[in-house]
Copies of this chain bind each other. A is one copy, B any other.
Amino acid sequence: MFQLDYGDPRPLFEQIKDQIKTMILRGVLPANQQLPSVREMASNLTLNPNTIQKAYRDLEAEGYIYSVRGKGNFAAALSQQLKTEQQTQLKKQLKETLTAMLHLGISPEEALQWVKEAYHTEGGEPQ
């Protein structure tokens, strides 16, 4: 179900968190969709249930999922606040990238070209 990279310096629970976040933000996991149980996911990924639980607890604290004792974990409805946060972060990220490009000697015109190009090559599905 998920892709773990043991070479990645980032901890496993973070990798799991990010993948779930992405799925929720992109609508792959609709609201109230049930997630695999802590034990099941742990079994599938061959790691400890505690690791999954940490990921789930964090995600709940951040508003991406909600937990119901005895029932399971479910994708939360994507709040406007969460969307706005994400947008803000993406904007910041975009600006950082553009700044780095500028300082590397790439003109704004070239940058715009890159942007258009990125859209034209959509379907390659980066990441």
Contacts and interface: CB of A to CB of B under 8 A. Distances in A.
Nearest to A115: B115
A97 B106 contact: no
Interface stretch (A42-50, A51-59, A65-73, A118-126): A118-126
Contacts of A10: 9
Interface of A: 9-10, 25-27, 83, 86-87, 90-106, 108, 111-112, 114-115, 118-119, 121-122, 125-127
A113 to B, nearest CB: 11
A112 B114 contact: no
Contacts of A87: 101, 104, 106
Contacts of A111: 115, 119
A7 to B, nearest CB: 15
**Copies of this subunit:** 2
Given A126-B92, A126-B96, A127-B99, A104 B118 contact: no
Given A92-B126, A111-B115, A126-B92, A97 B99 contact: no
Contacts of A108: 119
Contacts of A103: 25-27
A118 B90 contact: no
A87 B115 CA distance: 13
